[in-house]
A and B are shown apart, each in its own frame.
Chain A
Amino acid sequence: MSSDITAVWLTLKLAAMSSLILLVIATPLAWWLSCWQHRLKNIVLAVIALPLILPPTVLGFYLLLAFAPDSLIGGAWQQVFDHSLAFSFSGLVIGSVVYSLPFAVQPLYTGFTQLDRRFLDVGYTFKMGRWARFTQIILPLCQSYFLVAAGLTFAHTIGEFGVVLMIGGNIPGETQVISIALYDHVEMGEYYRAHWLASGLLLFSFLLLCVLYWCNRGGGRQWNFR
């Protein structure tokens, strides 16, 4: 039972870190995409959306190759941190960030394209700096999109299975997340413990989605977006 609690804790830690990192990466990326006009834009959008449709094992397979100690990324990581990226918690975080990227970028991209940019013009004429315009204008006006992006990446990371299995394996306390522990229990015929994890995940996911829909009622259009 204590290993299950460890798995729950590890999963929550992974989801929280991935969501946080993703918001930091996806906000400038989505902003840049919403301003960028180029014929290559569709290709960039497609690349970002790839994890939505790729089987997680495909993504996991390529990440595993990239994390290997004899590869460029994996080798460099080994040099700096003195441990392998594959089958480590850090590897899982990087994998989750790639895997959940579209779930963070797409709501923010929608929010930014719908934002009436003239509010920012008003801020500019008030001589507000970039950071002030972000915190005083963009953040509150796109609040619901930020909540959806954070909530979706969090929930999606918790539901991860294929990628984790490929790049993380099943090391308790290091890479064994809830979905893997559940799989383990079923393999072992421990249905009682499997029920606990499965019903817990089900209830949690349901509640999280309810909260997201509640936050996003009207898609944030209760304010005057164009």
Chain B
Amino acid sequence: MEFSVNLRRSTQFVVQAEASLLNFSMVGLTGPSGAGKSSLLRALAGLESYASVRGQYNGQSLTRCRIGLVFQEPLLLPHQTVAQNLTLAQRYAGDNGMSSSYLSYDSVIANCQCEHLLAHTPAQLSGGEAQRVALARALLNQPQLLLLDEPLGALDLSTRSAILSWLKKVAESGLPMLMVSHDVTDLWLHCQSLMFMNNGSIELHDVPGEVINTMYQRHPSATGQHVAVLAGQPCKETGSAGQLTSFECEGQLLCTRQPLQSPDRATLNVAAHEIVLDRAFTTPLSLDNTFMCEVEGISPVVDHQVNITLKRGKTRLYAMLSQAALARLALTEGDTVRASFPA
């Protein structure tokens, strides 16, 4: 898919974005509020009459494609029940050429966890329930391409990750998705590639880890608590560690409590405040994981704190230290340290 969008929102703000996505299933889109992400999605879906949209998907002009959009707000029709909302979308469904049964009515309702909501009216739903119904409704319309504008923000963590994992499978089975999100972990775990949008244009487009790292370096204050995702091949014999899964990352053995993303991919999210650094590599620690790595960068001091970027191979970690701790450890760029963190 390729697209080029030009949309003048005001004299100061113009969305001018282009990208070319090859063989993609799930692509992330992130950036500060007001960067133009929602405008871009609306323009791609054909909802901005003043936008000039050019592009093609599967050899077909974008303006002729069935492009679904899940809005930030659920926007369920209030005069209909949940079941009627879903039936309406189904009645106007097209043929997106997907042969798998992922988007059958029963599969969508079950995976979006809407079975028990069918008889309710939208006014009776909680924010998260309404978002799940809105997602189900968009999927039942059988689009060829699905745009998701922070579709699951109101869901609890475990439901969200279950639905996202399922969506990823749907995307891989032939319904490509472009997802806007501010959640670094979601983007990292579920997207093949990530676009970073700022001031109306797409500034970065790369694998999620690289884009997120550049975001952290360029906009340290806007991005909040830094999080890294470590990933690797799970080891076969994991029974001894109880619920923990061992996996190998940059030649070092780590363990995680998180469910496997796929049989050959284990992941571990590590937030900056969870990391303990030391330079005496022999002391045993109560933390489950230790990871040898090099100091790649040290941020300027803000509020007596510094962000340290750590790297080994292609894997990065982010640690947050007080100014005093930085002085105690006498860290400089290029030093090898031991990072310890929970599983």
A residues lining the B interface (CB < 8 Å): 116, 118-119, 121-122, 124-128, 132, 136-137, 140-141, 143, 223-224
Q: Tell yes or no: B184 within 8 A of A by CB.
A: no
Q: Measured between alpha carbons, how far is A136 from B68 in the docked complex, in Å?
A: 19
- B residues in contact with A124, CB < 8 Å: 45-47
Give which listed residue, A118, A127, A128, A223, contacts B75 with CB less than 8 A: A118
SS of B interface (majority):
loop
What are the residues of chain A within 8 A of B79 when measuring CB–CB?
140-141, 143, 223
Q: Report, nearest first, the 10 A-B pairs whose CB atoms are least far apart.
A: A223-B78, A140-B79, A126-B92, A125-B69, A126-B141, A121-B47, A122-B75, A128-B92, A125-B45, A118-B75
Inter-chain contact B46/A126, CB cutoff 8 Å: no
Q: How far is the CB of A27 from chain B (nearest CB, A)?
A: 18
Q: How far is B76's CA from A137's CA once the two chains are assembled, in angstroms?
A: 11
Residues of A within 8 A of B45 (CB): 121, 124-125
The residues of B that contact A143 with a CB separation of less than 8 Å are 79
Q: How far is the CB of A140 from chain B (nearest CB, A)?
A: 5
B45-86 interface code vs A (CB 8 A; 1 in, 0 out): 111000000000000000000111101010101110000000
The answer to whether B78 touches A132 (Cβ under 8 A) is no
Q: Does B94 contact A (CB under 8 A)?
A: yes
| CB closest residue in chain B, given A143 | B79
CA distance A223 to B79 in the complex (A): 7
- Which residues of B316-341 have CB atoms within 8 Å of chain A's CB atoms? none
A-B pair number, CB within 8 angstroms: 50
Q: Which residues of A contact B123 (CB under 8 A)?
A: 224
Interface extent on B, as a size class? Answer: 20 to 34
B117: interface (CB < 8 Å): no
CB closest residue in chain A, given B74? A122
Pick from B42, B77, B94, B138: contact of A119, CB under 8 Å: B77
Chain A residues closer than 8 Å to B141, beta-carbon distance: 125-127
Q: How far is the CB of B94 from chain A (nearest CB, A)?
A: 6
**B78 contacts A224, C-beta separation under 8 Å:** yes
Asked whether B88 is an interface residue with its Cβ less than 8 Å from the other chain, the reply is yes
CA distance A188 to B143 in the complex (A): 73
Given A140-B79, A141-B78, A224-B78, A127 and B71 contact (CB-CB distance below 8 Å): no
Q: Is the CB of A132 within 8 A of B92?
A: yes
* A141 vs B77: C-alpha distance when bound (angstroms): 8
Interface centre among A122, A124, A136 (most CB of B within 10 A): A122
A124 nearest in chain B by CB position: B47
Contact of A126 among B47, B73, B78, B89 (CB under 8 A): B89
| A137 / chain B contacts, CB cutoff of 8 Å | 77
Can you list 26 A-B pairs with a CB-CB distance of less than 8 A? A118-B71, A118-B73, A118-B75, A119-B77, A121-B42, A121-B47, A121-B75, A122-B71, A122-B77, A124-B45, A124-B47, A125-B45, A125-B46, A125-B47, A125-B69, A125-B141, A125-B143, A126-B88, A127-B92, A127-B141, A136-B88, A137-B77, A140-B77, A141-B79, A223-B78, A224-B78
Question: Smallest distance from the beta carbon of A139 to chain B beta carbons, Å?
Answer: 10
CA distance A85 to B141 in the complex (A): 53
Complex CA distance for A119 and B75, rounded to whole angstroms: 6
The docked-state distance in angstroms from the alpha carbon of A1 to that of B78 is 51
Report the bound CA distance from A136 to B45 in whole Å: 20
Which residues of A are found within 8 Å of B92, using beta-carbon distances? 126-128, 132
CA distance in complex: A39, B330 (Å): 68
Known: A118-B73, A119-B75, A141-B79. A125 touches B68 (CB 8 A): yes
Least Cβ–Cβ distance between B194 and chain A, in angstroms: 24
Known A118-B73, A126-B88, A141-B79; 8 more pairs at CB < 8 Å: A121-B69, A124-B46, A124-B47, A127-B66, A127-B141, A132-B92, A141-B78, A223-B79
Closest-CB distance, A34 to chain B (whole angstroms)? 16
Residue on B nearest A137 in the bound complex, by CB: B77
A125–B77 contact, CB under 8 A? Answer: no
- CB closest residue in chain A, given B146: A125
Residues of B within 8 A of A132 (CB): 92
Of all chain B residues, which has the CB nearest A136? Answer: B88
Question: Would you give the shortest CB distance from A222 to chain B, in whole angstroms?
Answer: 9
Interface string of B205-239 (1 = CB under 8 A from A): 00000000000000000000000000000000000
Task: Quote the shortest CB–CB distance from A36 to chain B (angstroms).
Answer: 14
Residues of the B chain whose Cβ atoms lie less than 8 Å from the Cβ of A125 = 45-47, 67-69, 138, 141, 143
Nearest-neighbour CB distance to chain B for A71, whole angstroms, equals: 42
Residues of B within 8 A of A224 (CB): 78, 123
How far is A132 from B77 in the complex, measured between Cα atoms in Å?
14
Across the two chains, which residue of chain A brings its CB closest to B48? Answer: A121
In the bound complex, residues from chain B placing their C-beta under 8 Å from that of A127 are 66, 92, 94, 141
